[in-house]
Chains A and B, each alone.
Chain A
Amino acid sequence: MSQHILDAAALNQDEALIPKSGWFEQSETLQKLRKNKKFPTIWCPGCGIGVVMGALIRAIDHLGLKNDDVALVAGIGCTARMPVYMDFNTLHTTHGRALAFATGLKIARPDMKVIAIMGDGDALAIGGNHFIHAARRNLGITALVVNNSIYGMTGGQYSPTTPLGKRATTAPYGNVEPPFPVCDLAIAAGATYVARSTVYHALELDKFLAEAIAKDGFSLVEAVSYCHTTYGRLNKLGTAADMMRALKDNSISRTAFDAMSPEQKADNTKIVRGKFVDIDRPQYTAIYANLITRVQGGEK
């Protein structure tokens, strides 16, 4: 065992917390982390969820929002551990119900920027119903769906976004179900901002997250990530670095996709990243506030 691991294990609780000075002060991103939380994070070495966490912090920092004006709502899963490490208002809820709790929070506090952080299984299988109805109502919530194609925390069961034919612990001969196109689902349900990027394109993810949080309406950002410990191992996709390189090689921008001929578009197997929808529709809490004013004023 290396000296490094022995040192980390020998640290007491105080030393494992964020250091008070020096290295930590150099980064604005790190200032937004929870000061009393023990690091490193629980995620596997190289997991892309940490990259998404960094992108989310940079996006909030870029918008200049105060920590108290942001509420992070999460369910259960690898991705849902994300708010635990960040110094904002956080709500850790039951599996798949992040958007349901976020709906209540947004209606009670319309001034707050509510961000629901969900994994693919959390958002689309267990919480699929909440997902489409939050988009239909056009509540001013930002839904961040981190898509790693599998249920990572519970041991690698196939999820609604596992690609056709890929292996999972509950699909040892290959998945026979076609996957959900997350962005198309949100567009069809009525979301006003829909964008997709990958963890390799982390700075693009920053930009999309900042636009989504600033948007007054239901906004979805799909962050395509990877799970190298279960999905990658079962499908022989290599290490975390290999899977991140695959995201670089197997994704194209929306501009390049739009320039393709219809035949090429039909054959395309690459991840298309970019902004798909950016429209304006009346937002739910504004309509609701108008209703209250109208009815209290005696109108029918």
Chain B
Amino acid sequence: MPNVVQQTQPAAPPPATAKKGPRGAVTIHATWCKGCRICVEFCPPKVLAMDESENYPHVAFPEKCTACHFCDTHCPDLAIVVRKLE
């Protein structure tokens, strides 16, 4: 687990079979997160998941993010930033 910022960008361009539409990149600020699970339980495309310790979220499937901004508007600690990709 990185100390301050945990940032995950899409590793590779989405495959040709991927659905069309906007894509996003999720960044979680690890030192602000308290592990309340709200982002994990509500994320519509299930991009986020709890890590091995089951205490903190991490970006499990970055390619699935549709930039719906649910997680960053509902994060009680403002620890998530979603950036829409061009």
Whether A30 contacts B81 by the Cβ 8 Å rule is yes
Tell which of A4, A41, A47 touches B30, judged by Cβ atoms closer than 8 Å: A4
CA A199 – CA B76 in complex, angstroms?
Answer: 10
**Which of B3, B38, B83 has the most C-beta atoms of chain A within 10 angstroms of its own C-beta?**
B38
Residues of A within 8 A of B37 (CB): 46, 239-241
Q: Is there contact, CB below 8 Å, between B77 and A16?
A: no
User: B7–A244 contact, CB under 8 A?
Assistant: no
Chain B, interface size category, equals 20 to 34
Query: Which residues 1-51 of A have a CB within 8 angstroms of B?
Result: 2-5, 7-8, 11, 15-16, 19, 22-24, 26-27, 29-30, 33, 39-41, 43, 45-51
Do B79 and A40 have beta carbons less than 8 Å apart? yes
Query: Interface 1/0s, chain B 61-82, versus A by CB < 8 A?
Result: 0000000000011111111010
Q: A51-B73, A240-B37, A244-B38 are in contact. Are A40 and B81 (CB under 8 A)?
A: no
With a 10 A CB-CB cut-off, give which of A22, A45, A53, A239 has the most chain B CB atoms. A45
**Best-buried of B27, B30, B53, B81 by chain A (most CB within 10 Å):** B81
What separation, in Å, do the CA atoms of A164 and B78 have in the docked complex? 33
Q: Determine whether A128 belongs to the interface, using a CB cutoff of 8 Å to chain B.
A: no
| Chain B 29-60 near chain A by CB (<8 Å), digits 1 or 0 | 11111111110011000000000010110000
Indicate the member of B34, B41, B42 with the most A CB atoms within 10 Å. Answer: B34
- With most chain B CB atoms within 10 A of its CB, the pick from A4, A8, A11, A46 is A4
CB distance from A159 to the nearest CB of B (A): 20
Q: How far does the alpha carbon of A269 sit from the alpha carbon of B67 in the complex, in Å? A: 34
Across the interface, which residues of B come within 8 angstroms of A27, CB to CB? 72, 78, 81
Roughly how many angstroms separate A243 CA and B12 CA in the complex, as a whole number? 37
Given A3-B1, A4-B53, A23-B7, the answer on whether A29 and B38 have CB atoms closer than 8 Å is no
Is there contact, CB below 8 Å, between A48 and B76? yes
Any chain A CB within 8 A of the CB of B18? no
Cβ-defined contact, A241 with B41, below 8 A: yes
Contact status of A19 and B5, CB under 8 A, knowing A27-B81, A241-B41, A244-B42: yes
User: What is the bound-complex CA distance between A257 and B50, given in angstroms?
Assistant: 38
- The size bracket of the interface on A is 35 or more
Which residues of A lie under 8 Å from residue B72 when comparing CB positions? 27, 29
Q: In the bound complex, what is the Cα–Cα distance between A58 and B27 (angstroms)?
A: 19
Say which residue of A24, A47, A203, A240 sits within 8 Å of B73 (CB atoms).
A203
Verify if B4 is at the interface (C-beta below 8 Å from A).
Answer: yes
CB contact under 8 A between A54 and B78, given known A23-B5, A241-B41: yes
Q: Decide if B42 touches A241 in the complex (CB within 8 Å).
A: yes
Closest Cβ of chain B to A87, distance in Å, is: 13
Nearest residue (CB) in A for B52 is A2
Say yes or no for A202: interface residue by CB 8 A criterion.
yes
B17 to chain A, nearest CB (A): 29
Interface flags, A189-226, vs B, CB<8A=1, else 0: 00000000001101100000000000000000000000
Given the known interface contacts A26-B27, A241-B41, the answer about A45 and B35 at a Cβ–Cβ threshold of 8 Å is: yes
Question: How many Å lie between the Cα of A244 and that of B42 in the bound state?
Answer: 10
Cα A53 to Cα B53 in complex, Å, equals: 29
**What per-residue 1/0 map shows which CB atoms of A240-275 lie under 8 Å from chain B?**
110011000000000000000000000000000000
Besides A240-B36, A244-B74, 19 new A-B residue pairs in contact (Cβ under 8 A), listed by A number? A2-B53, A4-B30, A8-B31, A11-B3, A11-B31, A15-B31, A27-B78, A29-B78, A33-B78, A39-B31, A41-B76, A45-B36, A46-B38, A49-B76, A53-B78, A58-B73, A239-B36, A241-B38, A244-B42
**B→A interface (CB under 8 Å):** 1, 3-5, 7, 27, 29-38, 41-42, 53, 55-56, 72-79, 81, 83
